[in-house]
Amino acid sequence: MNQRWRLVLLWALPIVIGLFLLWQVVLRGGPAQVVNAPTVAPRNSAVARMTYGRFLDYVDAGRVTAVDIFDGGRSAVVEAVDPDLDNRVQRLRVDMPGVAPELINRLKEQGISFDIHPPRTAPPALGLLGNLLFPLLLIGSLVFLARRSSSMPGGPGQAMQFGKSKARFLMEAETGVCFADVAGVEEAKEDLQEVVTFLKQPERFTAVGATIPRGVLLVGPPGTGKTLLAKAIAGEAGVPFFSLSGSEFVEMFVGVGASRVRDLFKRAKENAPCLIFIDEIDAVGRQRGAGIGGGNDEREQTLNQLLTEMDGFEGNNGIIILAATNRPDVLDSALMRPGRFDRQVTVDAPDIKGRLAILEVHSRNKTLAEGVSLEAIARRTPGFTGADLANLLNEAAILTARRRKPATTLAEIDDAVDRVIAGMEGTPLTDGRSKRLIAYHEVGHALIGTLVREHDPVQKVTLIPRGQAQGLTWFAPDEEQMLVSRAQLRARIMGALGGRAAEAIVFGHAEVTTGAAGDIQQVAGLARQMVTRFGMSELGPISLEAGNQEVFLGRDLMTRSDVSESIATRIDEAVRSIVDRCYADTLQLLENQRPCMDRLVELLIEQESIDGDAFRSVVAEFTEVPEKERFRPLLPANG
């Protein structure tokens, strides 16, 4: 008898016994007993009641004419003469203590006609069937549930298999994805190609003393293709493949996670060589022994079992573990050491070549117009991941279908980029004063971006609301630029302050609005980083703050200050000094170009959108536009 049937019997036997006893108590003496025909004396009929004492008085007074006794003497129907009703005969029901010999003698002495009606009995076979029917039905239902749980994963009997691994197992993973379908992550593909070669041709490496890596950790932002790479490895390797999520180890019952880890590796050893893919491993692999109370004991037990299985005393030859996470900083150090995860493969956001390759993959089933250049789209989408690019082309295709066009054009691509980055397009403003105020705000941003040499060029200015912004100014940064100079940071601060400065110049300081709230937050962040992280202030080249001090379970409960109170005061003064100087320069620059700003606002109100080339041509009519390198990529600016 296997474990499942033992559990079924262990649960079913007490339930069957208890319900059977309850059945017997309820029906004690009753399954074979039936009340006489209701035409004679129904128990619940509308017959008047009489107490037993009054019945005896009526018998002694000679008022009772007939008595019918039922239920073994427990009840009777009496015909008696009631003097209060003009001596009419009335049928009354009496609850009796039983058939006593004294009562029979008194009835005989008074000459009263009486009859005792014995209960009718059912056949013995029917009584036995009534006693056994319910237990048989209960046992049959339990057997049915047990069979269903063994044939259907996730059925009611699944509770008896908590300790079993929930990993999806494929003897030969037919994911439909191979390395040719993964683009934009060539370095990661090269590292992972060696894993496939290890599985297919291990002799190439063992001949020179190399050993197969125990684990490979895929690290990168969301949407960069970590899970897609795991599918590609499974499709290329042609070996048994187990896949599951890190959260599937953890349950509310103690010890279940560790049991599932043991079961997973037991099945993997039986099918070695094989691959195990654990997605979002940070759900179970977070640092141990931190936070209030030392952390989650059940999760730590699961992690301890995983560490033991990955590099324990027995070892797991032929088993390669792939894991993916976008939070490597929270993983336990014991999980990250060589021997467990020997390799960390970074899957980062693609560059322009990678984006072009990704667009070529996702555009295979899209109908694009002849004038659409994938290279132009790749240049306009710096920072986009593979998932972002797939979503971009899908949004463009949806817009194409909505506009009833046969193919996707650049207009749909432009609108899709705007929608993905800034949100859905809203209804244009009709209020003249609000529209003019927002126009000056956006033109202030764009004019500073055009006149300051170190600022990124303007791509587009629009008054069409998107998301929470009532207007937007788009800049075109250099995607290949990894380092940012002090002059560029200062130019970005001036560009962010351009909207507030334009409001103050045109409408006065008393009429500035809350529209610059996001700009001011951006300015404060940039200025503080210049002082505390980049050493770009009079405090000198000193790092005064740690890079990342997020508070979460697994790290320090509270953040710590790395500076004294006096230094903190000097930091605040340096930040304020940078912002004040930049704001003064922004005000001076916009005041000198007030006619140009007024002309641009009139055009923007009339057209609602101005592209970068048209904007610069108007500015060139009033002043000299500084030469700067032209970049095509598109990113939104502060609105």
Single out the catalytic residue among 395, 442, 479, 503: 442
d(CA 216, CA 219): 10
> What's the Cα-to-Cα distance from 33 to each of 19, 39, 44, 121, 350, rounded to whole Å?
21, 17, 17, 6, 85
- Nearest Cα neighbor of 283 from 308, 262, 257 is 257
Query: How does 281-307 read in b/e, with b if 16+ C-beta sit within 10 Å?
Result: bbbbbbbbebbeeebbebbbbbbbbbb
DSSP state of 624: P
Tokens standing for residue 186: 């060539």
d(CA 257, CA 247): 9
Per-position DSSP letters for 30-52, written without gaps between them: -TTEEPPPTTT--TTSSPEEE-H
Angle in degrees, 0-180, between the axes of helices 101-109 and 52-61, rounded to the nearest 10 = 30
- Do 31 and 24 meet the contact criterion of CB atoms below 8 Å apart? no
DSSP state of 502: H
**Peptide bond between residue 97 and the one before it cis (omega within 30 degrees of 0):** no
> What's the Cα-to-Cα distance from 392 to each of 319, 398, 419, 459, rounded to whole Å?
38, 10, 9, 19
- Nearest Cα neighbor of 637 from 487, 507, 480, 494 is 494
**Maximum C-alpha span of the chain:** 138
Q: CB neighbours (10 Å) of residue 432?
A: 9
What is the 3-state secondary structure of 343-402?
EEEECCCCCHHHHHHHHHHHCCCCCECCCCCHHHHHHCCCCCCHHHHHHHHHHHHHHHHH
Is 442 one of the catalytic residues?
yes
Per-position DSSP letters for 242-286, written without gaps between them: EEEEGGGG--SSTTHHHHHHHHHHHHHHHT-SEEEEEESGGGT-B
Phi-psi sector, 558: left (phi>0), alpha (psi -120 to 50), beta = beta
- Rg over alpha carbons for the chain, rounded to the nearest Å, is 43
Token pair 């699961």 in the structure block, residue:
302
d(CA 192, CA 347): 11
- Do 43 and 77 meet the contact criterion of CB atoms below 8 Å apart? no
Q: How far is CA 295 from the centre of its chain?
A: 22
Token pair 């940064």 in the structure block, residue:
477
**Active site residues per annotation:** 442
